[in-house]
Every structure is written in C-alpha cells, then in structure tokens.
Structure 1
Amino acid sequence: LVCGDVGFGKTEVAMRAAFIAAHGGKQVALLVPTTLLAQQHYESLRDRFAQWPVRIEVISRFKTAKEQNAILEDAAQGKIDILVGTHKLLQPSVKFANLGLIIVDEEHRFGVKHKEALKKMRANLDVMTMTATPIPRTLNMSLAGMRDISIIATPPSKRLAVKTFVRESSNAIRKEAILRELLRGGQVFYLHNEIKSIFSTAEQISQLVPEAKVIVAHGQMRERELEKVMSDFYHQRFNVLVCTTIVETGIDIPTANTIIIDRADHFGLAQLHQLRGRVGRSHHQAYAYLLAPPVKGMTKDAVKRLEAIQEADTLGAGFTLASHDLEIRGAGELLGDEQSGHIQTVGYSMFMDMLNRAIKAIKKGEIPNLDQPLDVLSEINLHIPAVIPETYIPDPQTRLILYKRVASAQTTDELDELKIEFIDRFGTLPQPFINLFEVTTIKLLAQTIGARKIDISDKGGRIEFNTPPLIDPMKLIKLIQTRMTEFKLRGSDTLGIIKHFKSAEEKLEWLKALMLELAP
C-alpha cells in the first residue's frame, strides 16, 4: 500500500514499478476507477516510455469492441507489456500470459468484490495499491502488518497547500472565486453533482461571470464528446468546467487552480480530499471552496466531515483523514465484505489478538501455536475515579478513541508518550484522567508479576495470583515475614493487604512500589 497525498507523485512510483516489472519480462496490469483516468495514465505512460521497447495498451469505452478484442488477444499471448484499464480488467474474459504486477490506483474507489477478484487472478502476484485516503479496512490491514505500507510524505518542491474555505452557498462567493482565478489566467473546476440541473447551473455561471468560457462534462455523455470536452479544457480553450465527480480521480490539469464544490455536505471525506487534489498541481497557490447549506440543514456527520477536511489542509493530509475515517467508521471485516463499520460481535478484539499473534509468528518463520493461552488482562479495582471527565473532553466519540488508545498501550513508555500528546492537544490533565494513566501503569506491572485480580479500597484488600505464579514464591514469603503488619497469606494464591490509605495518591504510589519489588 502506497499512501501518498493527492499530487505527491504516486503515479510516478507506479510508472517506475511498472517499468521494472516490464523490464523483467512480466506483464503489468494498471487498474483505475474511471475511464478518463485510464486514458490519462495511458497517455502519460506512452509519452514516458516512448524511447523503450515497451508495448502499452488501454481498455476503456473510448475503444471499439473490435479494438478491445484485439488487445485482449494480444494480452493473452503476452505481446502487451503494460495494460491500463478500469474494472473491466477483472472480468474472467481477460487473460494474461505472464502477469507479474497489478497496480491499483485510487484503491478507495474499488469494492471488496473487485479486490477479491484481483487476488483470484494469481496467488503469487505483487499487488501495489495507491491511494491518498485508504479505506478503513485496508488501512487496518496495513497497520496490522498483513500488508506493507509506505507513506509518501514529502510534497514535490515548490508545491503549496490548497487553501480550503467552507462557506455558506451564495452567488457573491461564486462570482468572486471564479473572477479571482480568471484574472490570474487560470482555470476553474465547478463541481455540481446533479446531471438534471447541470446545464442550468452552467447557464447561471455564464450570466454571473460573462467573461467566463463555460463548458460542461458529466458521465452520461457520449465517449467522443467527453474526450473532446476534456481535451478542450486541458488545452485552455475554455476556462470554467462545470462537471460532476467524473473529475474526482487523477485528472491532472496544472493551470486549474480553483475548485468550487456545490453541496459539499453530500460528499464523503475521501471524495472531498480527492476533489480538492484536482487543483494546486503546480507552484501556484490553489483554492478550494466547499459550499454548503447553513449548519442547521446538514447531518451531524456531514458537519464533522467538513470540519475534518478544513482542518487537514496541510500538504500530505490524506493519511490523517484516513485515520479519522478509521475512527469515525470502524475497521470493517477482514474476511467479510464490509470495508467499514464496527464489528459488534463479541470477541472481535480477541480475534485481532489471535490474528496479530499469528502474523508475528509467521513473520518470524514459526508456526503459530494455537494452544498457547492469550494474555489475560489483570482485573484492577482501586475504588478511585479513573475516567476522562466530560468537562475535559465533551465529545463522546473522542473520549472513546482516547480510552481505546490508553487501553492499547503495551509499555509505560507508550503511556508517557500518550500523556504528552494529550496535554499538547487538550491541555493539563484533570486528576481522574491522571488516575486512569496510573491504573493502566499498574495493570501493565500486574501482568509482569502474574496478578490476576487486584482489589484494594482505603482499608486494605487483596491481590490474587495466577497459578502457576510468575513470581518467585520465596520473594513473597520473605515479604510477608518482614512486613507482617501489612500482608497476610490467604489460601495458596491470594495475598491479603491490611493497610489504611489516607488518599488515592498514597494508594497508587504504594501499589506501584510493591509491584516493582515483586517483579521477577
């Protein structure tokens, strides 16, 4: 998985990978979500490798059926080195003689069925997926180590971040935005995602800004017509393109540096981010205007998405947005068809634990041991408030995410890093939140000494150990003998604590010291 932001040169990485594979005598399939993008990749590949004996073809609706069949036959005989196409490439009728690499561009536009069809084509294929905002399931698989992930974080030199404005829809803003771009000799994308009213919208813009040369593009146009419109716009015969989301992926027009998105609240995060990436592809400052109705008229999630996209307007924000998406929508099923959504079944974390353990073992070249018990978390009850107060973080979604992150920490160092991050993000930690960190630290220490359960109130309590215990029994006996006023053995696996604590802080410090003393 190559996760690089819009316009950061993922296509360049793909070209080089394709070239290496073709050079090694393998065939390459380049899979893209839209016809326009297929055409564009085909042209850039052809220009790039004009000097080399590499045969490149494209399958898209711009070709006649006869041309397509001829291409497919050549591919099956191994005469074609690089084949570009939409999901047509996944149909059973498409055969390759010696396929070595599949490159999937804009991974977030394909469904699970498409991706599974890919895997069926050949088990020992190399698959490279490229995207600015990976789908939650893919991101989760990468972070879990089932796929490798590379992040392209450095923008091309002289590239500026797109300035993003979320505004209430009005003609004044439309006019100002279009005029500002035309006055500096640039071009404008005006995104209107309803085909039935797209021509009337184009008409309105012509009246609003008489200087503009307006042209319309949408997905239901005839192939030749669409091809002509795009090439006219590319060659600057027109300067305002009123279009649907057909321009979303990969269209590369360096002189277009303003995009206006109508009804931005109707789009998903990845979509908005992709659309914003259609501009600002050269060294000019680019602008994205997201026009939405007043806040009252939008759903809660839509408001959240617009906030996220406005905040993430630095270069390279795609990965940040994808992580937001993973948090807002959940990770989906690894083996099923869902690409997002929280799995509500019991045992999901258990399944992830088993999966992570199996992945680790296989990476080391071992066979996963299925009989080995999973780590049992220690149960800790210290009768003190250890929570994230609502007054500190009002949004329940954010609180849940923070709880999960604290609970997932594996070492005290990780906890310290989280503490620093939270203070940086939200300000000084309140006492109950500090207690949560302390209790989690004790939980980690409890696992090292094999404590199954710790229950301590202000007047004492008990620590139960696993059998067999992880600590040296002699240490325990010595402890009881030297501090008889504080400890008492109850049964074979429980240590009774007879001690009064004046405050929560005293109890936490005392317990931490005890754990460190008993640690093997």
Structure 2
Amino acid sequence: MILPAVRERLEALLRHAAMEGPLTALRAGADHVSITGLHDVAKALAAAYLAHELRRPAFFVTDSNRRAEALAETLRFFGGIFPGATGGVATLPAFDRLPWESQSPHADILERRAATLFRLADGQISLVIAPIAAALWRYQDPAAYLYLARTLAKDSEIPHEELVTHLASVGYTRTEMVELPGQFAVRGGIIDVFSPEAPRPVRIELFGDTVESVREFDPRTQRSIAPVVRATLLPLTEWSLPGPEKTELDVSASWEAPSFFGPSREPAPSALFESAESSLRPVVFLDEPQTLRRAAAEHLAAVTENYERYGHANSPAPSDYFWSEQEFAAALAKTSQVHIEQLALGIGSAPQFELSSRPSARFHGDVVACMGDVKSQLASGGTVFLTAASTGEIERFADICREYEVPYLLGESEDAAAGFTAEGALESAALLLIRAPFAEGVTFPDAKLTLFGHADLFDVTPTVERPSRKIRTSGFFSDFAELKPGDFVVHVDHGIGQFEGLRQIESNGHHGEFMLLRYAEDARLYVPLERMDLVQNYRVLEGAHPPLDRLGGTAWNSRKTRARKSVEDMADQLLALYAQRKTTPGFTFSPDSNFQREFEDAFEFEETADQITAISDIKRDMEGGQPMDRLLCGDVGYGKTEVAMRAAFKTVMDNKQVAVLAPTTVLTFQHFETFKKRLAAFPVNIEMLSRFRSAAEQKKVLAGLETGKVDIVIGTHRLLSKDVKFADLGLLIVDEEQRFGVTHKERLKELRKNVDALALSATPIPRTLHMSLVGLRDMSVIETPPRDRLAIQTVVAPFQEDLVRRAIETELAREGQVFFIHNRVESIHSLGDMVTKLVPKARVVVAHGQMGEKELESVMLKFIRDQADVLVATTIVENGLDIPRANTILINRADRLGLAELYQLRGRVGRSSQRAYAYLLVPPEATLSDVARKRLAAMKEFSELGAGFRIAA
C-alpha cells in the first residue's frame, strides 16, 4: 500500500499554478486548456491528478499502441497515489489488422478491447488510454457492450441453450475440456467457462433454467475449488457474432474479416468518448496534438489505401468503420480537451499553463555520482524519489543509501516492501524509495522535485508490464488436462483404452462425473473423477493406433511384468552411471564474489521468479561437493541463456574453464555474440570453435584451451573432437542436447564424469524429461515468461503471394524484421527473388547451410545488426537466434516439418513486447495427411506462452 507520505511530498507540485489553473478552468466549464513543458512522466502525473479531481469519464489519446501501454502503467501508479480514487485505468488497443485483410486481429487485442469497452460502459473504469487509431474507430452505444457480458449467480435464471448460444456469439471457443481463457465446455446441465482476465474458470450447474451453483475450478485437474458469489463472463469480441459456434482448429476454414469488426449493414453511431454510461462531460487528454493530427491523417490514408487494394464490390467502405478527421473534430468539440505538450506550439485563445519539467539525470551505474546528487538536492530543500521495479530492488537501493549515509524512508507499507525497516523514517529531508513502473524519471525545477526512474541509476531496458493470463500451478503439465476424446489412455489395472469424454451419471440421487473409456470388443469402463490418478495419457507416435486391451484379459498384466523387468535392468545401468557421478568428488565452487554480484546487477532486464529459483538451484549444486548434472527447461525466449551465463561467470571466477556446446553453427555464432556483449566489461576471454573459424583460427583456439588462456569456448560438435583438450574444464553447458547424435552423446558422457554439467532445452525429448522427473537428473523449470511477453498469433493458411506481401509490409510498417523459412536449397534463391519483387522496399538476404562460412556469417551479421529486413533461410535458423526486432515468421511447406521443428522455428519471433505472428503456409490445393493436419493443429493449439513442455510430454 502506498503511504500518505508520497502524496504529501507531491503537494508542492500539485499546488503549482500549472496544475491548479487547468483544474479551475475546467470546473468553470472551459472547453479547452493547454499545459506545456511536460516530459513523459510529468504528462502522466498531470493527467492522473486532473482526472481524479474532476471525477468525470476521462480519455488519454496518444499516437501508438506501444506508447499507450507504456503510459498506462505510469498512469495507474499515479492514480493509486490519490486518496479515494474511483475506477481503474485501462488501455483500449487499436486493431493490428484492417477489415479488408484476410487475417484476424491478434486474439489478445480482441479480448482486451472487448473487456475495456464493457468495463467502461459498466462504470468500472475512470480513465482509458487509447492510440489515435482506436479513437478514430466507430463504437456502439454503451448498452450494447453491457449486453455482451453475462453475470451469473446462484438462483439466476437463464435458459441453458441461450447461455451456450451467447457464449459462442461473443467469441468463446467450444472445447471438450476448458483449460485456457476464452474456452467453454458443455456436459449436460454443467457449463464450464474461462472468462478472459479471470483468475480461474468457473463451473456453472443449471437445473432447468435456474443456476444451482457457480464454482471455481482448477483447469489442470478439473476439480472444483470453491463456490463464488457471482461470475461475470466477459466477451471476447465487441460485437455479437452471428452464425455457428466456433470450434477448435479447422485448417481449411476461412476467416471473414467483418465478423470481428462488426456488421457492415450500418455504421456504428458513437465516438469513443461517448462509450461511458455517464451524463457528465468527458475529459480528453491529447498527447502532443500536432503529432496526433499527423498520425490521424497517416492512419486514415493507410485505411483508404488498404480498402482500395484489398476491398471488393461488396466490401464495407472506410466510413463504415472510421470517423473522418472532420467528424472526429466534431466529436472532440463535445468534450473538455486538455492539450498536453512539451513545447508551447499551440495557437489559439484557450488558456495555456506551463509546468517546466525535464528528464532526470542518468548515472549509468555511477553510484557515487548519484548519491552525491541526491545529497545535494536534499540539502537545498528539494524532494527526491528513487523508484524501483520490485521490492527486491528497493532493498538493494536501501543498502546503497545506508552505505553512502543517505537518509531514506519507504513509500509503501512494510508488508508490501518485504518487511524490512526504514532508517531515518522521521527525517523530513530524506530520499523516498518507492516501487514505480517508469524506467526514466523527471525533474520539476520550479517545485524542486525529482523522480528518478529505476533506469537512471543502473541502465535497464524499459518494459511494459501486462497482467498475466496464466495460472501458476504446482506442476508444469497435466496429462488429464490435455486429454481429448479419441486419445489413448492407460488404466493401471486394465491397460490401454480410448478416452471418449466425461459423463454425468446420477446414482441414488447423487450426481457424479466419470471418465468414459472404451476397450476391446466395444467394452466400456466408467472411472470416477476422484480416481483419475489411475489413468494416464498414453503417448504414441503421430498416426499410430495401438491395439486396445480386453477388460478382464491377461495380456495387460503380462506386458506389465515384462516392462517392469526391462525398466529394472535399464535403471540398474543408469543408477550405476549416476552413482559413479555421485561418489566422484567434484570441485566446490566459491560463494558469489563481488564481481559475480556486479555482473548480475548489470543484467538489463528484471529477472522472473523462475529465473531466480533456477539460478539459486544451480549455484547450490556448484557450491556442493558433487558434480552438477542439471536440466534447465524453459520455453523459447524465457531467459535460459542468462541463467547459463551466470553459471559460466561463476566458473571463470574460480579460474575454471567453460565449454558451451550448441547443435548448429548459427546458434553457436549467436551465443558467441551474446556472451561477448554481456561479458564485455569483465576480464573474460571468450572464443568460438565452429566452421565460421578458419583452420589457423581453430588451431589458435585449441592452443588457448590447452594452456588455459581461453576461459569460455562456444562451439558445435567440433568441441567433442579428440584434439580438444582443456587446461581445467569446470563447467559443460549443452544447449538443445536432444539434437546431438549417439556418438556425440557418448563423448558427452565422458566429459560429464567429473565436471559440472548444465543442459538447456525448450522441448526436451521425452526420455531426457523422464530422467529428470524420476530424479536421475536434477531439473529446474522456467515457466514464467518475461513480464512484457505476449503469446504468438499463429495462422495456418494456403500459400498466396498476396498474403506474403501483406505480412511482410505489416511488419516493416512497424520497423520490424521478418524470417521466411523455405527448407529447399535448390529453390531458396527463387523465393528470395519473389519476396524482392513483392516488396521492393524490403532488404532481402538469403541463408542456407551449403553457403561458405564467411558468406553465411556475413548474411547472419547483416540480419542481426538490422542491415536486412527479410531473412529467407532454411531451418538453419531453427535454434537459438535471438533478434527482438524480428516479430513475423513465414514458414513455407509447414506440413513437411516436424512438430518440434515448427515449435523451435516459431520461437524465433515474439522475443520482445511487440505482438508476434507466425504464418504456417501450406500448398493451396494440397490435401494434407492426417499426421500433417494434427501437427499443424497442435501448433495452433500450443500457441500460449510456455507450451514447449507439453510438446515434449
């Protein structure tokens, strides 16, 4: 909880004429005021204060989705400072697609828009931040958005069929089992629904038209948790969709754009500022009005161009969806406008107020200079805030303050700040430590007040935080949660059967849920859900159909006996190997040094909770007396490399060498660049051993390894050659171990005997995963995505030049890069030429494994350094490439690639806060095999963050 001291320290600023003047003018009925001199954080503070004091519906219009997201967090922070704040802050993102295109908007955008519009109409939101593209859109009356949601409680009345039809009409997908937001399932009188932004799904039990109970349930186990008073089922679309209900993937299905953007029969009547159910005149904050006018003109011009290129005779016109500039100006005239500007460029009769502000000083890690500046400001009577991204960072800043004798106090209650005690809390001239979302701060010279952002002291990359939609559970996958009718299962006592679904059965007046399993000779077995621990999913190769066992037969018990004997023999061999490792004394690494802490503090992002746990596990192993053998599982882009680099640095600090083994030359090169950049400020010698190195260069590296001059070597299977000798190898890091062959793994076993070993994988092969689960190998799991990460929008579509052009042009329009995967060397240059012809402004490069070392290195460097827009490549880029600007990937002939390959390729995008898109392209007229269809369906299904383990399992 934020303490009153924070508001008290801001009082001098809030009483400034540039804050009080606009407030007085707007209360007196002014149509338009202007505040100038405002830097970014100052803009958010001014808007939050005025919106709170005026108590009217408020809108903040800026130029882009990205800026809206960043400002939203800062506005929420300042909105929470003021006592008695009513309503919340929400963003209304603009669509990332236009109505005449053939791809749907990103699912995240659809859900968030629908939820925001409902909450705005329901009075739950007091301030909406929207980009100009969203503000130009036509909206329905508030009552229409209220209708799209349903609130149910015990004894509510709603016909069963009406509820099912409504859920389908507002965008929910009907499935056999609910495990993700936006899904619903129907089993007789029971309807399971997972509303977007809800913490858990709910189970609604109907008796006739009456709701008998509403209970939350765990989507992993499907077991009810507790009854709830009421549940609000938010829509996933802002229009009611006509037609049949959606079901899970049909790769041949087409998408009709207008269903997402609303019916085209007649234009929607309202502007965004009329979407709140209120009689009060709304307040609209315009962020840099001149910039907004230019952005509006550019967006409407792009809309017209898109319509002329992709529309047809029956397509709705742009005016059916968007207001013209003149109409938008007329809608603004009905509001109270607040122009928020950095420079006083406005011309007119509106009252103008100036509040001087400038970016706060940046210290780039110079703690001495920062603490000296803080002391100076406090001594001259100034007010200073130092913001942190987390409570852990607050503790770190508090330690620094104590070390440099700077008085400080906490800006939030102790229970929210990890329970540590503030020193000097009674001193008025004290630095105030507080959690806040902005990385770069602001100074108000007139008010003698400075808010330092958390990147001002130590450089970090600003991120945009969004509420997580995932539920944390004790396990990282659940066989039962993934079962679908038709899947094969194994019952402990009865053997292999086929799952047919869940059934409601009434016995002696009691209702119960049962799993229905089919066995040989069409026999049926009902298993109560409370005994579901007896049933496991039976994993088979794609397309395989194992024979079903016969209920009461002896074949299953015979197979169990044989399998038990085989497993015991294999276990003896594995136990002997791992027992040898456990009894072999290993090197005991030292506790963290100051260098180690300095290296970790230099990380430009905030660690996730799972990263911290994994780092702690690895350090504990390394500081123990036995050789470490740990598997680190984490989805693509979840930060496994950073964890590995910390282990490598710890090894080097104890004068030991590190070998990093990667399956491909390209991944080796990427790791080499990443390690060099991350360790540039430290005395660590890093080398690479791959075909990117000449024979003479390799010879030099080998000599350095043998003499100990090379601290870290990163290489392909070349590292496993007999001529590679280490002076003192301490740590072996193996990335994507499952990609190595049997011969390589035998060599790895030899290397592992007396050195610490760390294996990294996003999709470990089941055998490797199983060895960790049964305890033969230690395992750490990184389930938590980076806080600004979004799921990748996956599209399965026939190959069309028009689609390719639009996908590339859309990505280039947001200054991004594109991967185009084509796994045929003989025709890859022709495809590159086609891309150049389709998008002449794109800088296109081609890469494949048969190129010469220097040529391939040159191409990869061009793409990594943003000197090329489109990389047309074979699957040579499958593993490990980390290019945050690349957020669209097209995969040609996706039906010919394996599931793990597709998953790894898709993981090349979506590594930043930008929304990412993966297009799985198949031939237009080809008939897909059942195996290919299931593989593509799985890619569509496993599109949520962290699905790699489910593919492995």
TM-score (norm 2): 0.33
Mapped contact 1:295–1:303 kept (Cα < 8 A):
no
Q: CA deviation at 1:7?
A: 0.6
SS of equivalent to 1:315: coil
Match of 1:103 among 722, 727, 733: 733
- What corresponds to 2:505 in structure 1? none
Mapped contact 2:633–2:764 kept (Cα < 8 A):
yes
- What corresponds to 1:174 in structure 2? 804
* Residue 884 of structure 2 corresponds to residue 254 of structure 1: yes
SS of equivalent to 1:92: coil
Mapped contact 1:15–1:45 kept (Cα < 8 A):
yes
Higher relative contact order (CA 8 A, sep 6+): 1
Q: CA deviation at 1:260?
A: 0.1
Counterpart code for 2:916: A
Mapped contact 1:21–1:100 kept (Cα < 8 A):
yes
Match of 2:908 among 259, 269, 278: 278
Counterpart code for 2:869: N
User: CA offsets per residue over residues 19-38 of structure 1, 9 Å max, x none?
Assistant: 11111222111001111221
* Residue 733 of structure 2 corresponds to residue 75 of structure 1: no
Q: CA deviation at 1:300?
A: 2.3
Decide which structure has greater strand share.
2
- What corresponds to 1:91 in structure 2? 721
Mapped contact 1:213–1:239 kept (Cα < 8 A):
yes
| Cα distance in 1, alignment partners of residues 742 and 653 from structure 2 | 31
Q: CA deviation at 1:287?
A: 0.2
| Cα distance in 1, alignment partners of residues 751 and 863 from structure 2 | 38
| Cα distance in 2, alignment partners of residues 158 and 205 from structure 1 | 31
Q: CA deviation at 1:96?
A: 1.1
* Residue 854 of structure 2 corresponds to residue 224 of structure 1: yes
1:129-148 to 2 correspondence within 5 Å?
Answer: 129-148=759-778
Structure 2: unaligned runs, 5 residues or longer: 1-630
SS of equivalent to 2:670: helix
Match of 2:758 among 122, 128, 137: 128
SS of equivalent to 1:233: helix
Decide which structure has greater helix share.
1
Instruction: Mark the CA change 1:105 to 1:198 in structure 2 (over 3 Å): closer, same or farther.
Output: same
Mapped contact 2:732–2:755 kept (Cα < 8 A):
yes
Match of 1:188 among 793, 806, 818: 818
* Residue 704 of structure 2 corresponds to residue 57 of structure 1: no
1:334-353 to 2 correspondence within 5 Å?
Answer: none
Mapped contact 2:656–2:728 kept (Cα < 8 A):
yes
Mapped contact 1:202–1:216 kept (Cα < 8 A):
yes
Match of 1:291 among 911, 915, 921: 921
Match of 2:662 among 17, 24, 32: 32
- What corresponds to 2:213 in structure 1? none
Counterpart code for 1:13: V
Instruction: Mark the CA change 1:317 to 1:112 in structure 2 (over 3 Å): closer, same or farther.
Output: same
User: CA offsets per residue over residues 63-111 of structure 1, 9 Å max, x none?
Assistant: 2211211211221222221111000001111111221211011223212
- What corresponds to 2:949 in structure 1? 319
SS of equivalent to 1:279: coil
Q: CA deviation at 1:264?
A: 0.5
Counterpart code for 2:786: P
TM-score (norm 1): 0.60
- What corresponds to 2:140 in structure 1? none
- What corresponds to 2:792 in structure 1? 162
Instruction: Mark the CA change 1:165 to 1:60 in structure 2 (over 3 Å): closer, same or farther.
Output: same
- What corresponds to 2:637 in structure 1? 7
Give the paired residue count: 323
Mapped contact 1:257–1:280 kept (Cα < 8 A):
yes
Counterpart code for 2:713: L
Q: CA deviation at 1:215?
A: 1.5
Mapped contact 2:732–2:752 kept (Cα < 8 A):
no
Counterpart code for 1:106: E
1:314-393 to 2 correspondence within 5 Å?
Answer: 314-323=944-953
Instruction: Mark the CA change 1:301 to 1:280 in structure 2 (over 3 Å): closer, same or farther.
Output: same
Counterpart code for 1:212: A
Mapped contact 2:661–2:714 kept (Cα < 8 A):
yes
| Cα distance in 2, alignment partners of residues 98 and 305 from structure 1 | 45
Instruction: Mark the CA change 1:156 to 1:232 in structure 2 (over 3 Å): closer, same or farther.
Output: same
| Cα distance in 2, alignment partners of residues 152 and 295 from structure 1 | 41
| Cα distance in 1, alignment partners of residues 798 and 784 from structure 2 | 33
- What corresponds to 1:115 in structure 2? 745
Structure 1: unaligned runs, 5 residues or longer: 324-520
- What corresponds to 1:203 in structure 2? 833
| Cα distance in 2, alignment partners of residues 176 and 53 from structure 1 | 47
1:403-442 to 2 correspondence within 5 Å?
Answer: none
SS of equivalent to 1:297: coil
Counterpart code for 2:746: E
Counterpart code for 1:2: L
Mapped contact 2:735–2:761 kept (Cα < 8 A):
yes
| Cα distance in 2, alignment partners of residues 132 and 122 from structure 1 | 21
| Cα distance in 2, alignment partners of residues 92 and 213 from structure 1 | 42
Counterpart code for 2:885: T
